[in-house]
Chains A and B, each alone.
Chain A
Amino acid sequence: RKEVEQDPGPFNVPEGATVAFNCTYSNSASQSFFWYRQDCRKEPKLLMSVYSSGNEDGRFTAQLNRASQYISLLIRDSKLSDSATYLCVVNGGNTGFQKLVFGTGTRLLVSP
């Protein structure tokens, strides 16, 4: 089983739609969680950290369910510029060091 699993998509949605991505992780000792965005042939860029209480940044909402080892990202009012690959990233556990493990990514295509 992969450490971090995501549906690769692609998710094809029209502008203005709401879309949700899910991610599961296998290491129950994982302590920190992030969503990154990666555009084609570019580096990953931090979108937001994910907290147990859930957090929101504009049109983006992230949630963490530690009991189910599940992370989600909700994008409201999708824009064309949201088209990218969204990477779920988990700190790989109790090494004491920041070992970020990436999911395979979910590709989002927003169309006019």
Chain B
Amino acid sequence: DTEVTQTPKHLVMGMTNKKSLKCEQHMGHRAMYWYKQKAKKPPELMFVYSYEKLSINESVPSRFSPECPNSSLLNLHLHALQPEDSALYLCASSPSGVGKEAFFGQGTRLTVV
């Protein structure tokens, strides 16, 4: 099973709302990632978790707050977003270590109004 599941698939939120994106994998992968993808652009790395610890934060604004409750789950908490934050948010996972393939979830299409 090479499946990464993301919920919700679509989300519309106001700029004062608080919402969370969820990601789950049961492949035993110990590295999990959040990427942001705008239309006609490649995915851009936001965060990397390795063994449930935040390893990389690509200078993401604090209105995005990641959380890794356990080795299978990854959340992205959203608060006070701006319309320009509207994008496809992709979760991925891979076995730990360098050189391993990453598998992506279907993404959450977020619209901030």
Contact = CB atoms under 8 A, between A and B. Distances in A.
On chain A, which size bracket covers the interface? 20 to 34
A71 interface: no
A98 B90 contact: no
B106 A100 contact: no
Interface stretch (A12-20, A38-46, A57-65, A73-81): A38-46
Contact of A43 (B55, B90, B99): B90
Interface residues of B, number: 27
Interface string A98-112: 111111110000000
Candidate in B48, B55, B98 with the most chain A CB atoms within 10 angstroms: B98
Interface string A30-50: 011010000001111110010
Contacts of B31: 97-98
A43 B41 CA distance: 13
Contact of A42 (B33, B48, B92, B106): B106
Contacts of A42: 106
Contacts of B50: 97-98
Contacts of B102: 46, 98, 100
Interface of B: 31, 33, 41-45, 48, 50, 55-56, 88, 90, 92, 94, 96-107
Interface of A: 31-32, 34, 41-46, 49, 87, 91, 95-105
